[in-house]
């Protein structure tokens, strides 16, 4: 995972906010969760999972909340995390305790996602599913071909 040190630096910080970026092609939704943005304390991070790679990087608040950009053919939109996933509201103000990468059981160099563990036994998992699209679930995932490290 690229940017693991960024997430490590956020352990102990409270989750404050989040947005989801979606991708549309010819006005048809292609990927509901194209990018995920999370705010801890005063830092926004961007989480991108694609092609077996996880990238976490710091980003500007304006990037995380930029409503729409693109063209007639393709566009990207952002929406508050809690609008797309109302369950997210109960995660606000909880501290990040630790995180685990989700990798292939057959090749640990292939990343499929990340699980973020919060106080009060709360978990957010962002992962790339078998169709190549990202999903978010509010629990650990149990898949026969994945494991957490």
**What mean pLDDT comes out for the span 92-103?**
96
Flag whether pLDDT at 65 surpasses 80.
no
All structural domains of the chain with their residue ranges: 4-148
Contacts for 115 with CB less than 8 Å, ≥ 6 apart: 99, 100, 102, 123, 124, 125, 140, 141, 148
Contacts for 63 with CB less than 8 Å, ≥ 6 apart: 37, 44, 46
Model confidence over 67-87: pLDDT tens digits? 888 888 999 999 999 999 999
Cα distance between residue 133 and residue 38, in whole Å: 19
């Amino acid at each position: 995972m690229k940017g693991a040190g960024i997430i490590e630096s956020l352990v102990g910080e409270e989750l404050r906010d989040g947005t989801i970026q979606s991708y549309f092609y010819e006005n048809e939704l292609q990927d509901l969760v194209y990018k995920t943005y999370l705010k801890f304390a005063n830092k926004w991070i961007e989480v991108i999972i694609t092609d077996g790679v996880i990238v976490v990087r710091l980003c500007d608040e304006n990037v995380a909340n930029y409503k729409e950009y693109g063209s007639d053919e393709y566009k990207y939109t952002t929406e508050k995390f809690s609008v797309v996933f109302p369950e997210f509201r109960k995660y606000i103000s909880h501290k990040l305790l630790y995180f685990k990468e989700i990798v292939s059981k057959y090749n640990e160099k292939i990343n499929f996602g990340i699980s973020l563990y919060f106080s009060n036994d709360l978990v957010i998992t962002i992962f790339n599913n078998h169709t190549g699209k990202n999903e978010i679930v509010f629990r650990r995932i149990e898949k026969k071909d994945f494991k957490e490290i």
